[in-house]
Amino acid sequence: MILERLKEIVGEDYATDDDAICTSYSRDQHFHFVPKKKPAFVVRPGDREEVREILIFANENRIPIVPWSTGINVRGLTIPEFQGSILLDLSRLNKIEINEEMMTATVEPGVTFALLTQEAKKYNLRAAYPDAPLTAGVLTNNYLRGIYQTSVIDGHDHLLSFEMIIPNGEIIQTGSRALNRDLPYFRYGLGPDIAGLMSASPGTWGVVTELTLKLYKLYEKRSSYFIGFEDVEKSIDLVRKMAREELVSSCRLVDNQSWLIGMCGSFEFEYDKLPNFVVCLLIDGLDGIFQAKDKIVRELIEDSGGRLLDIPESFKDNFERETLGGTERSCMVFGIRGNYHCIGLYGPLKYVPEYYELHRKTAREVGIPEDYVYFYVNPIARFHGQLCYVELDIFYDGSDFDLAEKLKEYNKRQMKNLLDLGIYGWFRPYAGIIEPSIERAGYLTELWKRFNEVVDPKHIMNPGKLW
């Protein structure tokens, strides 16, 4: 009965309960933490009206719905928690509209960063990019607050407004599009910031079918610098100055392995002979402004006590293309050992040395080899509160199940340790962070649950991912 109804909505070719197809959606990179479970059905709607009909049907029959966009999932957020779930594959919804005058893009869930990059470059514009393959979904990454890594000057919030279909079939337009769907360019329209309230939730409110985001100018004038430090304390002093003065487009603090390899785009270099920590800087801008900023940056580098590194020009070119042009090679770092685990968090720059030492200490306590332990830091403009994204990484062989058990223990301890030390918040609400966090959030947790109850009273939207 369920499959027949789904086929009525989307057509014979776009709904299935085939075991092989359903199994292909049953796990992701986070499989050591989120057990594999296949959906009972996979359905691939072609437009928002089909999405709406599926939600109404599922809501009437209390069938769990798991939204899925392009499949580049690394946190178990689209792995069903319950038997009988419908996996809602939104990859066929892939329209893009670039508004050069407004410097925006309006995208559907199936639009990848590769598609958006190709279109935006026609207008000399670019998106804010995550450290992810270009096959990652634009809508999902912006909706889940996942764009912060490559260009510090872009800031944190790129989402302007979106359209969401909730389980009863009603359509919510956020921001300025609530009053005029043809003007989706302002975050704060009528009433409260509903986009802010509903973002960063993993498909637990409804299905976002369209989202408008900011685009940024591409400049031809560019230069990049790599500065080495033996001590993390000294390196963050340079990062602090760059971020406070908003001189650079990209500022990234990394260890001399892992993500530096991806930013340089090559394994063929003696990275271990570099200083322990490397600050990677990129300046761009209009002629005149660019030269002035470049001069100041050079002076600050000279006064920093760090060593200006002799990096091949091809590495610098790759860093620039990755940061501003979307040529994403960062994920080649998975080739270090084949898989990675990370704890992503937001916190103040002054805590970075403590985050780093806590990372190493906890890994050592559970028996994870020291050379598996890495990290990187990205300051985020505007730099109020010294806002940074911090990633504590462990690169490992995914087939090593003994190490996987150590990772689970590391995760359990480190979540508590970080909450005790002090953070602003987590990267996303993925497996392992909700449970130790909600008990500290006071009545906010209860309020969040009640809001969710209003929108999804039958609990069909990705149930089990938050509570």
Render pLDDT for 118-127 as a digit per residue (tens, 0 to 9): 999 999 999 9
Indicate whether 376 pLDDT > 80. Answer: yes
Indicate whether 324 pLDDT > 90. Answer: no
Indicate whether 29 pLDDT > 80. Answer: no
pLDDT the model gives residue 414: 94
* Residue 424 φ/ψ, nearest 5 degrees: -80, -40
Residues 365-375: what's their mean pLDDT? Answer: 94
Task: Starting at the earlier edge strand, list the strands of the sheet with 171-173.
Answer: 96-99, 104-107, 207-214, 159-165, 171-173
Structure tokens at 453: 């109850």
Indicate whether 329 pLDDT > 70. Answer: no
C-beta of residue 262 within 8 angstroms of C-beta of residue 329: yes
E strand or H helix that includes residue 53: helix 48-61
Q: Where do the DSSP E strands lie in 92-158?
A: 96-99, 104-107, 125-126
Task: Starting at the earlier edge strand, list the strands of the sheet with 15-16.
Answer: 15-16, 41-43, 86-89, 65-68
The Cα–Cα gap between 275 and 294 comes to 23
What does DSSP assign to residue 169?
A: S
* Of 302, 313, 329, the residue nearest 223 (C-alpha): 313
- For 268-297, what is each residue's pLDDT tens digit? 889 889 999 999 999 999 999 999 999 999
Identity (one letter) of the amino acid at 114?
A: A
Structure tokens at 360: 């190493």
Residues 313-324: what's their mean pLDDT? Answer: 85
pLDDT the model gives residue 383: 86
Q: Which residues contact 156 (CB under 8 A, 6 or more apart)?
A: 145, 147, 148, 380, 387
Per CATH, the number for 337-432 is 3.30.70
pLDDT the model gives residue 6: 98
Q: Which residues contact 307 (CB under 8 A, 6 or more apart)?
A: 227, 228, 229, 275
- For 13-22, what is each residue's pLDDT tens digit? 999 999 999 9
Residues 230-243: what's their mean pLDDT? Answer: 94
C-beta of residue 40 within 8 angstroms of C-beta of residue 61: no
Tell me what the pLDDT averaged over the chain comes to: 91
Fold match flag (221-331 vs 337-432): yes
Indicate whether 335 pLDDT > 70. Answer: no
User: Looking up tokens 């990290």, which residue turns up?
Assistant: 375
Q: Which CATH number fits domain 221-331: 3.90.1150.10, 1.20.1440.20, 3.30.70.3450, 3.20.20.70?
A: 3.30.70.3450
- For 139-194, what is each residue's pLDDT tens digit? 998 898 767 767 788 888 899 999 999 999 999 999 999 999 999 999 998 889 99
pLDDT the model gives residue 337: 78
Indicate whether 129 pLDDT > 80. Answer: yes
Class for domain 96-217, per CATH? Answer: alpha beta
pLDDT the model gives residue 332: 65
pLDDT the model gives residue 288: 94
- For 35-92, what is each residue's pLDDT tens digit? 889 999 999 999 999 999 999 999 999 999 999 998 876 678 899 999 999 999 999 9
Indicate whether 404 pLDDT > 70. Answer: yes
- Confidence band for 221, pLDDT divided at 50, 70 and 90: very high
- For 405-425, what is each residue's pLDDT tens digit? 999 999 999 999 999 999 999
Indicate the pTM of the whole model.
0.94
The Cα–Cα gap between 7 and 20 comes to 18
What does DSSP assign to residue 461?
A: B
- Confidence band for 333, pLDDT divided at 50, 70 and 90: low
Map out the domains of the chain as residue ranges.
96-217, 221-331, 337-432
Indicate whether 339 pLDDT > 90. Answer: no
pLDDT the model gives residue 125: 95
